[in-house]
A and B are shown apart, each in its own frame.
Chain A
Amino acid sequence: MEFSIDVKGLNKSFGDKHVVRDLALKVPRGQIFGFLGPNGSGKTTSIRLICGLLTADSGSGTVLGYNVMKQSAEIKREVGYMTQRFSLWEDLTIRENLDFVARMYGMDDRRAAVSQAIEKLGLAARQDQLAGALSGGWKQRLALASCLLHEPRLLLLDEPTAGVDPKARRDFWDELRALAANGITVLVSTHYMDEASRCDQLAYIAYGKLLAVGTAQQLIEANHAADLEDVFVGLMKGTEDNFQ
């Protein structure tokens, strides 16, 4: 099997705060991999380590075949990273934002790619509006479009649906499914159980430690739980006893 992410022993500390402990992940190509865990559990930092934004203090492995410790420049080129907070430029228009991002990735067919993305978004009529004027759901779709622009092989999405209405969330996940069917690997962090159940595999992380990995079915059976929510509430209780 081909793994888009294959890392082990990743550690990251900020000062004396050990945020990620011995993270090991294997994500096969074309899967949607769900990242769950309480707030402050190290999800965001883990994603940043994988996309080359941060360098781990120790660890080894590959992301898209590149050395995760050394080849962050190569990794960045082929990864699409969507930040938790809307991080496009609110004082640029939709087209200007996409055009800028396309330039950052040095795309040859910039104009065509941007026009195509806008068309696909259904924002052709509003392409000259400022990104800051968009509603939450549209901002999220624009952000996704911008990190798909350079045709990455791996998508890293940090709580992409926080604050988005149910209909928009469902559309968003349908799109992720379609991407995965085309061979794009998706790593997505979420707090929503319905989203978790749509993932091919799930990982539960707390206090910087990976506590459980498997399909939704496997996790439910292994923990003798009624549903996913039970699994995670149970895991959360267990870790609180261990760490506090």
Chain B
Amino acid sequence: MSARIPRARSPARLSFSRWVGIMLKEFIQLKRDRLTFGMIIGIPVMQLILFGFAINSDPKHLPTAVLAADHGVHERTILWALRNSGYFRIEREARNEAEAADLLARGVVQFVVTIPENFSRKIARGERPQLLVEADATDPSATGNAIAALNGIARNALARDLQGTLGRLNPAADPVELRVHRRYNPEGVTQYNIVPGLLGVILTMTMILMTGLAMTRERERGTFENLLSTPALPIEVMTGKIVPYIMIGLVQVSIVLGAAQLLFGVPMLGSALLLYLCVLLFIAANLTLGITFSSIARNQLQAMQMTFFFFLPSMLLSGFMFPFRGMPEWAQWIGSVLPLTHFLHLVRGIMLKGNSFTELWPNIWPIMAFMAVMIGLGLLVYRRTLD
């Protein structure tokens, strides 16, 4: 009889083949989980594209309206110079002050340039007429560079006009008195913009993630089968499961709003009721998305990954982190599909500008449309039975 040869190696020694075995198993499992694999490739590609191409912290071609009471030669020079600076895109002419104020309030334009009466004549006389530039400064980083460039633009443009016979007017003082009004956020406080924006970011993250996890958890643990075998209807399951999260969302909003008032002194010019209604709409939109994700995801990890995949562009393309108008057109187009983009307008509009419902409507219906599409998609994917 020969001595027994142990089939397995000594367990105490480091084993290269054991180590290879563990590594290979991990690779195989990774390969099987298609969604995770997709994310591993998808997330860096998305970040590259978003950070590389879409984000621009020096926004140009900002929409500008002109309220001109004078159409003289110097007015044309000024407008030409603004346009040429690259920062201002003169889009429309306001007929009166009310219209100009409305364009600014609704966020249609970023700037309103007011040319006073007898602008050219006053320059010729050396009376230094006022050139008023009003900026929508809710997001200081969107307007900062453009405002900084204004002074130089006005002086240099007119310097050319004022050569020759008018040359005597040129050197001493500036030929016009440049007045810049930073509307809605005169001191350019960043928190005024960030804190209301945070509302949307926090809600997006928690609402989508929580519902996504709540539904996939049932599926992962097998309790979903139990639920399905009872007479409970899909609509009852879906809506019943989200109500607690709506309440969580409202609590979060109240915390952020409280902090906005007490810690950061963010003004609240509009109606709180209107704000909460908008919040409810936004919560609802995010919850429907969360449910749709959870119907697609097979487990909690996948639900989490999908949430992140949606959250990333929401943060970057909505105008929360970087000025919306600084992005190229395609990125703005994607951004305007995202509920967060519109919600930011709603919150900043209500808190900082005191917007009314009619002024907010252009940003309300896109969220509703998004929600309608998601509900349709969610019901399509939701499996009443296990097949």
Contacts and interface: CB of A to CB of B under 8 A. Distances in A.
A134 to B, nearest CB: 15
A121 interface: no
Given A85-B222, A87-B222, A87-B225, A54 B231 contact: no
B281 to A, nearest CB: 30
Given A76-B229, A104-B232, A105-B230, A54 B386 contact: yes
Contacts of B227: 104
Contacts of B226: 83, 87-88
A96 interface: no
Contacts of B231: 73, 76-77, 104-106
Contacts of A77: 231
Contacts of B375: none
Interface string B209-244: 000000000000111011111111000000000000
B387 interface: yes
A83 B222 contact: yes
A54 B384 CA distance: 9
Interface string A62-77: 0000000000110011
A8 to B, nearest CB: 20
Question: Which secondary structure dominates chain A's binding surface?
Answer: loop
A53 B385 contact: yes
Nearest to A146: B226
Contacts of A48: 385-386
A90 B226 CA distance: 13
A51 interface: yes
A101 B230 CA distance: 8
A76 B228 CA distance: 9
A87 B223 contact: yes
Interface range, B side: 10 to 19
A89 interface: yes
A55 B384 CA distance: 10
A87 B223 CA distance: 4
A76 B230 contact: yes
B143 to A, nearest CB: 51
B230 A14 contact: no
Contacts of A55: 385, 387
A85 B218 CA distance: 13
B222 A81 contact: no
Given A104-B230, A104-B232, A105-B230, A83 B225 contact: yes
Contacts of A85: 222
Contacts of A12: 387
Given A52-B229, A90-B221, 13 more contacts: A48-B386, A51-B229, A53-B228, A53-B229, A53-B385, A54-B387, A77-B231, A83-B229, A87-B222, A87-B225, A88-B226, A101-B230, A104-B232
Interface of B: 221-223, 225-232, 385-387
Interface of A: 12, 14, 48, 51-55, 72-73, 76-77, 79, 81, 83, 85-90, 101, 104-106
18 contacts: A53-B228, A53-B229, A53-B385, A53-B386, A54-B385, A55-B387, A72-B385, A76-B230, A76-B231, A79-B229, A87-B223, A88-B226, A89-B221, A104-B227, A104-B231, A104-B232, A105-B231, A106-B231
